[in-house]
Structure 1
């Protein structure tokens, strides 16, 4: 069965674009050429059929479009007497089965000359193929703001002559934090339902482990992604969101769990206690039966001290509620300044529901629903609101006993 074009886009965009940038040395030219190639494919493939090697077809077509554009620019410059030396003529492109250009693209985007948020945003755009509005949502900023950041980042790379390559060993570590943040955000975007992005992030994680085998945080990130991804098939049922405690653990990928724990063991053996190693350890504990909530709460406490993140503290509150009861968890939640964060309100609603404070829980669920555009999350919150309405309408004492 032939894959639809949108699936091919998600699978091949990063590879095609990375190859073009490596040859052309120009983000904008490469991106424009890639977009043209996909537009041509949208018109040609339904008529002529999908080629046997879509990536090679797209790369060749994009290269030809870039060549045509360069020739037009040269002709225009000649016409007005402005011709200067131009070495942008594309070199021959060889499309291999496992290209390394994506890894080179990550390190190019994560050059220290760029601001951290620009590094992450540019890689999400270039490698992951995310739209500007999707990246803006990930950063909680307006789309226009994110578009300006992307433009400035690409201009900076061009003006500074930042090379398209994996940096030498003595420069790797200074880029590592940004690279890991990029991979983490790509995985998070994929975890929300775009499986191909999750797979892309895991591929990058494995590549980074090969490149930097003695870095515990690299192994910690890969371990965390593998452990979370092991639950992918059970997070949704018929398009509906399924919470961790309601998932069918027999369907979790045991092989991925084992691989994730093996990476975690290697990270710990290297002395790792950084944020990604801690998150991997928490994910590993979540895969155990029974779940050691007390240990999870302790690890979240350590992670919170390292990161200072109120989102980490929110997760600690969930673990605290499992150990000391919903009232204790609610006390933690109510100290957090995350009024525009939907998961604070959905967490608070669940704790209030467990305490029997139905009206407050209903208001919290409604607030969470206002803050999400995700269809599956909205349907889940609607179900919770209906359940609360039914429980409020039930006669006193109903639902008790066996």
Structure 2
């Protein structure tokens, strides 16, 4: 996400890098390019106008630090302005009220409400809540069955509604059922239309009046750009939404919706959908998003993802093995599984500061199938082979390749890469970073 915008902004900053100091002329030249980059990213024109004026005022004012280069000064100012534009800090769900509270999901048909309901249930459960899913969309074919299937996958209770029932009755009966089941949070998956109409809004208003949800979240497709902003405005005027979930941020989203919604509607983006898995829902942090847009990475989100999947005891044991040079192929496989739980490797690499600016990393797509092949090769080994790779001779390599559905060359490449990593780790353990440097330099 934001790749095109990031590239254009970074090219502007590079042009300023060689300047001796910031002047009205080079700021004007830079801001002209920033304005075009934002408009091409489908950011609302009023937001662009406001943002550019804010950057110009601060760049020409007293906020410029003498210790920074012109390029660094502008990056700092743009970063702070983008953060402020998107809301400064993360705003979570409002769950204050008599249990079970209700969180109502609204939006147009096809925006991803049903999937988001499941993703929200995963998030709530991580926070120690007991979610209860409510299929209240009686119009879209299979909408009820879809949510029941999602609930079954997650082991989350789902109200047994049918298409013949009234949506308001469904939600009211679901609250009683959730209370009996000991659940504390209702997630209401309401109906959508292909466009906003009176019938849809009337039904949503009746559900709102009957259930009095503590939070109403608009699920909007990030790929619709400024349309998502207009949709948010319309829903907010009728329902007074509490915030927005931007779905499909992992697709070809140019960034316009994320940068415009808060400024135009005054309502925060609370979550973003970053993939198809039910675990792919992230809290929206304006400061972290601004860093990603400027190619500065997102270390905090990466750390949070790691904390969710990494077992501290296993990590301590792994560190001991690495220090003693006892890191086996079995350990390598286990670590690879944990890293894959964090999400797409391409996305993880994008969170590392500076990676987006490395030429070799541009448009890099890590082939997840390759990781599946590596795991298959290691699984085809015997426990002894995984722990003592040196015993793997030619005949064993043929057997491992046949068992994993790969070629002998693939097995050879894995063993070669593993051996090189072990040699590198040995140098680190022996001589610290100096030892590593000697091993990596060609002289």
TM-score, normalisation: structure 1: 0.33
Tell me: higher relative CO, structure 1 or 2? Use CA pairs within 8 A at least 6 residues apart: 2
Higher Cα radius of gyration: 2
Higher helix share: 1
**Structure holding more strand per residue:** 2
